[in-house]
Structure 1
Amino acid sequence: MIISDSSSSGEEENEECERFHHLRLSLIGRRLAEGASSRRQTTSRRHIDRERVECNRRLMRDYFDPNPVYNARIFRRRYRMQPRLFHRIMGDIVRFDPSFALRRDSFGQLSLSPEQKLTGAMRMLAYGSPADQLDEYVRMGESTLMEVFRKFCNNIINMYGATYLRAPTPADLSQHERRSSFIW
């Protein structure tokens, strides 16, 4: 589900704060992606039916349906951004890297949804959660989530690097401090 971004002059302040958070999370993600080791499993894997379609239904009901279980304020607290920004990033990533799109695998089964992939990657960034801990909510195995996480970080760098990925200036930091008291 991709929602178009309509911006109004009253939202400029929120957008500036969201850009700062986006910048901060992206820089953290770049450091984590650079430091993450590429592990290959040498033994055969046991298939675990993670019921990813049901997980996606639950995730959609919780946050992305027209009348979600958790409102925009809770979404912002848990994702560290407004739903509108999440949808914009998701749309950009799906267009930039088709592996994030919902598709069918070689057995005809639905893949993980873009919402599941981004939720896993963003929660790793926002909370510092280990990949295996997120399996219970987003229903992705550790190796799959680490692959999604690395792709997510690289895509963010490639898509937004020139515009947003720079060290914050003292003015950015003071502006963020003034605004952050109004957000939470």
Structure 2
Amino acid sequence: MTHANLMNNYFNLNSVHTEEDFRRRFQMRGHVFKHLLDDVQQVNLYFRQKRDRVGRPGFSPHLKVVVALRMMAYASSADSLDETHGISKFTCLDTLTEFCNTIVQLYKEEYLREPNHEDLNRLIRKAEDCGFPSMIGSLDYMHWDWKTCPTRWQ
């Protein structure tokens, strides 16, 4: 039932939520999610749907990836996802571990590497455009004033 609701809300042709809703809630576009889902399913069997001992379908790949992303994007606790997605705390934590390990395996060469000279120049230009010149390698910007900073972070 959780899988059916998830598919109806975000992934079916006439889904309840728009692409913009998806992007806001998952911090990525729908096509990026689909690409990510395909990649993790190809590399890690954990993300393929299996049947349990009595023949019922287990958690769907969509649901597992959504749980992992929600834990990372919103710092959601595993207990809170149990209530909303019907997955136990331990399964949520296992899913997050499997997801992170798979992402590193898949993308470390392209995205999880030290920046080269060209990357650094691009990042410095981007930071300067945002008003943070020479920010690479500096923690000075951890101390800039934020007028509306939540009190628990002060």
Structure number having the greater helix percentage = 1
* Partner Cα distance (1:177, 1:61) in 2: 43
Displaced runs of 4+ in structure 1, greater than 2 A? 166-179
Task: Report the count of equivalent residues.
Answer: 126
Please, which of 102, 107, 112 is the counterpart of residue 54 of structure 2? Answer: 107
TM-score calculated relative to the size of structure 2: 0.75
TM-score normalized by structure 1?
0.63
Counterpart position of 1:58: 5
State the structure with more CA Rg: 2
| Root-mean-square deviation (Å) | 2.1
- Equivalent positions of 1:9-158 (< 5 A) are 54-158=1-105
Relative contact order higher in (CA < 8 Å, ≥ 6 apart): 1
Whole-Å separation in 1 of the counterparts to 2:127 and 2:95: 29
Unaligned runs of 5+ in 1: 1-53, 180-184
Instruction: Work out the CA distance in 1 between the residues paired with 2:79 and 2:104.
Output: 24
Residue 172 (structure 1) aligned with residue 119 (structure 2): no
> 2:39 is matched by which residue type in structure 1?
D
User: Which shows bigger deviation, 99-108 or 140-149?
Assistant: 99-108
Q: Deviations over 1:75-128 (max 9, x none)?
A: 000000000000000000001011111121121010100111001000111011
8 Å CA contact 1:63–1:70 kept in 2: the answer is: yes
Name the CA shift for 1:170/1:68 in 2 (closer, same or farther; >3 Å): farther
Percent sequence identity over matched residues?
Answer: 33
Is this contact kept in 1: 2:50–2:58, CA < 8 A? yes
